[in-house]
Structure 1
Amino acid sequence: MASIAERPKKSGAITFQVKWRQDGQWQTENFRERPAAEQFKALVEAHGGQWPHGWVRGLGFVEEPAIPGDVPFPDYATRYVDRLTGIDERTREDYHREVRIHLSLLRHTDHAGREHSATIGNLTQEDVTDWVRVEEAGERDPEDPERWRRRPADPKSIANRHGLLYCIIQAAIDAEPQLRTSNCCKRTKLPRADDHVEEEMTFLERDEYQRIAAEIKDPDARDLADWLVGTGMRWGEASALRVSDLNLNGERPTVSVQRAWKKAKKGAPGGSFFLGPPKTKKARRVIRLSPAQVEVARRHAAGRQPDDFLFRTATGRNWRHSNYYHRKWQPAVAAAVAKGLPKKPRLHDLRHTHASWLIAGRIPLPAIQIRLGHESIQTTVDRYGHLVLSLDDDIADAVEAALGVPEQRAGLRSVG
């Protein structure tokens, strides 16, 4: 319980001091008039013996100064996405969804602990940290705690959304007139991507892949699976190959990756997918083919026009991911598992498997980066660096050779 004590001053005036214990420490606030002290005492007691939310000691409830030209954060973020260039409409739609569902959760808490709607100008580093924690925790349905209203986000999703937020804030800094002077996302400590186990990569040994491949009874579907695991191409790249992308008559037979299937904006004419550029600039690449891959390519290109898709269904149409996965890949994996296969790989794990085979063959990571079309070597290291264990002995031998002291030859004496 709080109490009020009269504190006389040397001038003869009386100060009314409200006093209470909070977390084991005495807290006080002074007032010139008893009614104000009584009102504050009631506020402290109503807050369970705590400072009233939003109260600044010695100042009372203080409003933050308005920021010239400030606008609500969701409005600014929406306009930022609308004005982006160099992206397809499906990507723009995805960004709008991230703003609407996730970045809209941002709130600003002032120095007094009061919560406000986020604006482009009032967001702080602490606000961004609070948002990250909200994303990590998720939100349960208050009427049914066993159900999620919004599931916890995985570290990769949080990092992607934080990257979008960073760009939005930076745009406000670069704006004319300037709306901010610093980026509140610069020092955010994001959750580590390896702190979770969802969507783990599956690496197949050669015999494990063969056990799955043997269950793919459609020869054309089997060829496509062999191509994916043998080239490391993404599904959207391999299924978008045209006959004209092949160069099989030179000394070094190759295939050029020039395009990939992309998800279209919902309701877009032409269906759910369209042909666009590969995932990144470095995904445009030329891949050397093995003799077995050249034979597969020749067989599928025979009698076809340059613009025809290289890999086709029995009806002559290009493969769709859902069709191939549900009708060819998934049944083959299930059959192999029923016969004792200890893994259940996704279709994309063929790409990871290809990388693991290259690492087992001691191919350097920079070469694997080029082969897979990763924009950054960091991506290659982050995903596959832990597999580079076979080089440990070579590294140890190299260090030993560099640090070892050579034996002194006969007839020579040391100097110094």
Structure 2
Amino acid sequence: MAYITKRQAKDGTTTYQVRWIEGGGRTGEGQSEKFGDEDSAKTFKTLVNAHGQHWPPGWVRGKGFVEESTDPDDVPLLPYCHRYVDRLTGIDERTREDYRREVDRHLSLIQHTQRSGLVVPATIVNLTDDDVQDWVRLQEKGEKSPDDPETWLRRPAHPKSIRNRHGLLWCIVQAAVDAELRTSNCCRKTKMPRVDDGTDEEMCFLERDEYARIRAELPDNDSARDLADWLVGTGMRWGEATALQVRDVRGLNSSTPTVSVQRAWKKAPKGSGKSYFLGPPKTKKARRVLGLSASQVDMLRRLTSGQRPEAFIFRTVLGNAWLHPNYYNRKWLPAVNRAVEKGLPRRPRLHDLRHTHVAWLIAANIPLPAIQVRLGHESIQTTVDRYGHLVRELDAEISAAVEAAMSVPEQRDGLRVVQGG
């Protein structure tokens, strides 16, 4: 085992030397390291013992823990993140601005901890698994003021927000791997907080009678009620439904009437002079065609009659497309408040109409792949992660199938063997 010897120099200074036999055997070579204080010597002694009487990995004699040589092309993490975001293609400028904000506000918190425990600025090369995990934990726990424990310097982030930021970092680090700056992606093994750890439901699913109570409070002298019916009846995103135009409707007089999702409202970049603009849907698979029910056909006939091809289907009394703040504050929120006063047990958001649509489909045993296509999800994993827990109606069928399989008689050597007997 390693031990410490104390030595007094002629000038009065004291040194502490950690001594041990390499490998701990009788034939090993004697090793030693010198320190100017006893605490450092004790810490190093513990490390030597923990590593089987060997030098701790990364320790250089007389220097301590030394980081691996830096790649000549290495750059600080923050400038690399900005470079990645600026070079992205296939996104609108508002999305690019959102990414830049995430980098400046949240990815800028990432730091690198050296083997010695020294915390230094992170670079795209020195970033480690532990650095990413520390960053996730910082967001999850939040940070309080050291001067006032009741004041938050940074409030705990929602697990979904942490996952989104981690996803952006993952893509940035992967770009460094692809550019051969790194050999692996340090975001792969990060343990993420569970999205369902909170006590508040992230999604609200309305029963049919609950939606009917809200619907009854919406005015029927404009398209406000029609728009709510459309959102809950199609599962469309708000930006998709309110961007629908007369020319997107096909075959109202045929046996296969459809509506095509070709565009959606996007937030305009700051300084552009406008709040929203029409752009492509959220993803490639969000560009889709939906079949229509009989009641939806009747609604579209009424709303599109005599209108120009470019006219919006869901319009205000002035003929303009609905803006989310106007509809929410003037129509939806008052209707929900009135319904709550009359006994409605929930306060759904507008986006919860999309979640409610899915819940109704799952209750009718519509398979998740079909729901994925209808919602325009890029991946079936998104559909499963978000709504898979609602698939309960098949439990009885699954249980019956398992019971039948477990009770099938076995056949052995021509003899019939009954299980459980």
Tell me if 1:168 matches 2:172.
Answer: yes
Give the aligned partner of residue 24 of structure 2.
none
Cα distance in 2, alignment partners of residues 159 and 198 from structure 1 = 18
- Which of the numbers 404, 408, 421 marks the counterpart of 1:405? 408
- Within 5 A, what are the aligned runs for 1:384-403? 384-403=387-406
Letter in 2 for 1:174: D
CA 1:56–1:211: 2 relative to 1, 3 Å: same
Asked if structure 2 preserves the Cα contact closer than 8 Å seen for 1:17 and 1:30, the reply is no
> What corresponds to 1:5 in structure 2?
6
Residue identity over aligned pairs, in percent, reads 62
Q: TM-score, normalised by structure 1?
A: 0.84
1:304 offset after TM fit, Å? 0.4
Deviation at 1:143, TM superposition (A): 4.3
Q: How does 1:132-281 map to 2 (within 5 A)?
A: 132-175=136-179, 178-198=180-200, 200-219=202-221, 220-247=223-250, 248-269=252-273, 271-281=274-284
Structure 1 residue 145: Cα displacement: 3.0
1:17 pairs with 2:21 = no
Distance in 1 separating the partners of 2:15 and 2:348: 73
Deviation string, structure 1 residues 148-167 (Cα, Å, up to 9, x no partner): 22221122111111111111
Secondary structure, in 3 states, of the residue corresponding to 2:37?
helix
Counterpart position of 1:310 = 313
Inter-partner Cα distance in structure 2 for 1:415 and 1:221: 68
Q: Give the 5 Å matches for 1:343-358.
A: 343-358=346-361
The correspondence for 1:326, drawn from 329, 337, 340, is: 329
Cα separation, 1, equivalents of 2:408 and 2:59: 69
Q: Distance in 1 between matches of 2:214 and 2:238?
A: 17
User: Which blocks of at least 5 consecutive residues in structure 2 are unaligned?
Assistant: 9-13, 19-30, 48-57
- Measure, in 2, the Cα distance between the counterparts of 1:415 and 1:110: 67
1:202 deviates by 0.9
Contact 2:268–2:277 under 8 Å retained in 1? yes
Counterpart of 1:299? 302
Q: Deviations over 1:21-75 (max 9, x none)?
A: xxxxxxxx9667xxxx5x4348789x9xx99xxx958534454333222111111
1 CA distance for matches of 2:105 and 2:379? 29
Q: Unpaired segments of 5 or more residues in structure 1? A: 8-14, 20-28
**CA gap 1:183/1:415 in 2 versus in 1, 3 angstroms:** closer
C-alpha distance after superposition, 1:262-301 (max 9, x if no partner): 11112223x1111111111111111111111111111110
Distance in 2 between residues matched to 1:387 and 1:199, nearest whole Å: 14
Partners in 2 of 1:218 and 1:407 — Cα distance?
65
Q: CA deviation at 1:199?
A: 5.5
How many Å separate the matches in 2 of 1:107 and 1:239?
A: 43
Verify the 8 A CA contact 2:17 2:41 in the aligned structure 1: no
Out of 68, 71, 75, the position equivalent to 2:72 is: 68
1:23 matched to which residue of 2?
none
| Structure 2 length-normalised TM | 0.83
Q: Deviation of residue 180 (structure 1)?
A: 1.6
**Contact map agreement 1:282 1:375 (CA 8 A) in 2:** yes
Tell me how far apart the structure 2 counterparts of residues 321 and 76 of structure 1 sit (CA, whole Å): 36
In the alignment, which residue of structure 2 is the partner of 1:24? none
2:119 aligned to which of 108, 115, 128 = 115
- 2:107 matched residue in structure 1: 103
* Contact 2:66-2:115 within 8 A present in 1 as well: no
Distance 1:341 1:415 in 2: 60
1:93 maps to 2:97 = yes
Report the Cα distance in structure 1 between the residues aligned to 2:6 and 2:134, rounded to whole angstroms.
39
Structure 1 residues 42, 294: CA separation in 2 closer, same or farther (over 3 Å shift)? closer
